[in-house]
Structure 1
Amino acid sequence: MANAQNRSLEVTIISGEDLRINDRPIKNNAFVTVKANSRCSPSSQDSTKPDARGESYPYWDEKLHMELPTGSRYVVVEVRRRSSSAGDKLVGTAWIPVSDFIGDYTPENYLHFLSYRLRDAKGLRNGIINISVRVASSSYKGTSSCSSRQPPLVPAFRMPVDRENHGGTVTGVPVWCPNQWKA
């Protein structure tokens, strides 16, 4: 069965809001690392340069490029603060579902603007990260050893046809609306 090949992502790290360490606003040197979360293959990652002046509201506006392996479910965004004395300290992490920017009927190269709540190492809210994501390619090629069954990029759409009574014309179109039957 043919599966989607790795996709190239262009992730623009725009800015951060209200970033803190131990309930105190960070002063400077915040940077962002982006990587794919994949069980099937090693994930690629890329990082921004540290923001020297943004304090707890850093501004990067930096494009990062990475490969998104087939089967990846999340892109992990980590905000860290670089310190000469203590090394890199985690400020917060956001796990971004791949379904937020791949799937449905989104055209290729569509630019998604997204904002996510960051969580610190204890799982507490710790600021917001603002990004944009563009999927550079999504062609089918080859097979994957990760899973024998991957969903297609675009769902198959088929209509029931009653060939005996109506000569092959469409007799109905299935419609599914999950909120229609809720009480």
Structure 2
Amino acid sequence: MDARCPVRTLELTVQSVEGLRLDRKPATTKNNLFVVVRAESINSYTTCMAKEDDTNNNLTWNHKLDVDVPLHASSITLEVKSKTLKGVKDVGIARVAVSEFMGGFGSVPQHCLQFLSYRLRDWEGRRNGVLNFSVRVVNSPEYFYTNNLSGTNGDLTNSFK
């Protein structure tokens, strides 16, 4: 028997950030910005450093991550951070409910690409930009119904495939 917790795999692409400020100034590529994604587990996933978008002066990553999300997870967290000479500084955080892109059982088809934009907040709760990303469920444990032959009533039981 496998002791690991069942997970669903998300293809999460961190695309860009708009209106991000660092020390009351517009954030730039000089701020060495990156995003850390967590899904209620000790595992974290990190993007590359942000690049400047020539068309609208936004910072972009366009970095694709395969994120394993435990089935018990109710949210994922995206944290924008800045690498400085003194260490890593937290810039903004967005917490996204898993139900936003999973919905109820069977409501969002697997492999359906969804584009989301979330308001970032700093650690004092103030607004600090908007993070744009896309998400697609790549792998999710499938449920199937089997006939319970050991019982006399023939009930259907929910079990993992």
TM-score between both structures, scaled by the size of structure 1: 0.67
**Using a 3 Å threshold, how does the CA distance of structure 1 residues 108 and 52 change in structure 2: closer, same or farther?**
closer
- Taking the aligned partners of 1:132 and 1:8, their CA distance within structure 2 comes to 14
Aligned to 1:33: 36
Residue type matched to 1:90 in 2? D
Contact 2:33 2:81 in 1 (8 A): yes
Q: What is the CA deviation profile of residues 14-61 of structure 1, one whole-angstrom value per residue up to 9, with x for unaligned ones?
A: 100111122211222111111102xxxx3422111112545x721111
**Using a 3 Å threshold, how does the CA distance of structure 1 residues 101 and 43 change in structure 2: closer, same or farther?**
farther
Structure 1 residue runs of 4 or more that deviate by more than 4 Å after TM superposition: none
Q: What is the CA deviation profile of residues 42-88 of structure 1, one whole-angstrom value per residue up to 9, with x for unaligned ones?
A: 3422111112545x7211111011110111011000001112x2211
Aligned to 1:45: 44
Q: What is the CA deviation profile of residues 3-23 of structure 1, one whole-angstrom value per residue up to 9, with x for unaligned ones?
A: x93101110001001111222
Q: Offset of 1:120 from its aligned partner?
A: 0.3
Question: Does residue 1:95 correspond to 2:98, yes or no?
Answer: no
Aligned to 1:9: 10
TM-score between both structures, scaled by the size of structure 2: 0.76
Report % sequence identity: 38
Residue type matched to 2:133 in 1? I
Give the aligned CA root-mean-square deviation in angstroms. 2.1
Decide which structure has greater strand share: 2
Structure 2: give runs of 5+ residues left out of the alignment: 144-157
Question: Does residue 1:133 correspond to 2:132, yes or no?
Answer: no
Aligned to 1:168: none
Contact 1:43 1:68 in 2 (8 A): no
Residue type matched to 1:35 in 2? R
Aligned to 2:77: 76
Residue type matched to 2:24 in 1? D
Residue type matched to 1:68 in 2? V
- Taking the aligned partners of 1:118 and 1:79, their CA distance within structure 2 comes to 8
Residue type matched to 1:108 in 2? Q
Aligned to 2:86: 86
Structure 1: give runs of 5+ residues left out of the alignment: 142-151, 153-183
Contact 1:5 1:140 in 2 (8 A): no
Residue type matched to 2:134 in 1? S
Aligned to 1:19: 20
